[in-house]
Structure 1
Amino acid sequence: MDLVYQLLIVLHLIGWAIVLGGTLVNLRTPKIATGVLHGILTALVTGIALAGIASAGLAGHEPNTTKIAVKLVIALVVTALVILGVRKPARVTTGYLGAIAGLTVANIAIAVLWH
């Protein structure tokens, strides 16, 4: 189960990298790239799976539930912003993409810095 857990971590990080990269690349001409939607859905699903596996004691260590809750809320907000941006492209501005990028960086920082 440890191998599955580690592979999920890799997929989770790749998902967030796609969100951040796809958002930053489109700052000049504000739009949500299709890959960003796929990236956030990958990050969200793998994050939930990682929390479930760790909480069940199957792999990893006992998770900090407060940290997981904060990260989940941020991920859900980013997901909502991306979905709304895909459905209504006229809403997408540089500030809109900045919010997505900023929340993504915040989620990554929480994962790394909160012990």
Structure 2
Amino acid sequence: MDFLYASLVLLHFLSWAIVLGFAVAFLRKGEVPRGLMHAALSALVTGILIVGAREMTGEEVDYIKIGIKLVIAAVVAGLAVVAERRAGGARLLGPIAGLTAVNMAVAVFL
């Protein structure tokens, strides 16, 4: 179970790193990178799986922190889907990058 948990955490971190990296790198180009939506959705799904794995092992879960992170992750994933599917979606890269940074700050400081 430790290997599964560590693998999920690694995938979660990598997904958020890709979201933030893509959003910042493509901000000036004015285009939405392919893969941004997939990275945001995988960050959301792996986050949910991490919480499930923690609950299965009986470890303590901070539900307030998880709730805040879940809402932010859902908004980021929704913005990424809208940005990829609509013309002019590059305008959403700034909010995606900002909310991703806020989500990371919540993970570290709360």
Letter in structure 2 aligned against 1:103: L
State how far apart, in whole Å, the 2-side matches of 1:91 and 1:11 are.
Answer: 26
Q: Alignment partner of 1:27: what SS? A: coil
Letter in structure 1 aligned against 2:93: L
Q: What corresponds to 1:54 in structure 2?
A: 54
1:12 Cα deviation from its structure 2 partner: 0.1
Q: Alignment partner of 2:57: what SS? A: coil
Q: What corresponds to 1:99 in structure 2?
A: 95
Q: Alignment partner of 2:60: what SS? A: coil
State how far apart, in whole Å, the 2-side matches of 1:30 and 1:65 are.
Answer: 37
Tell me the C-alpha RMSD between the 2 structures. Answer: 1.1
The alignment of Structure 1 onto Structure 2 pairs a total of residues equal to 110
**Where in structure 1 are there 5+ consecutive unaligned residues?**
none
Q: What corresponds to 2:27 in structure 1?
A: 27
Aligned partner (choices 74, 77, 85) of residue 76 of structure 1: 74
State how far apart, in whole Å, the 2-side matches of 1:23 and 1:17 are.
Answer: 10
Letter in structure 1 aligned against 2:102: A
1:74 Cα deviation from its structure 2 partner: 0.2
Q: Alignment partner of 1:63: what SS? A: coil
2:11 counterpart of 1:15: no
**Where in structure 2 are there 5+ consecutive unaligned residues?**
none
Following TM superposition, the consecutive aligned residue runs of length 4 or more in structure 1 with deviations greater than 6 angstroms are none
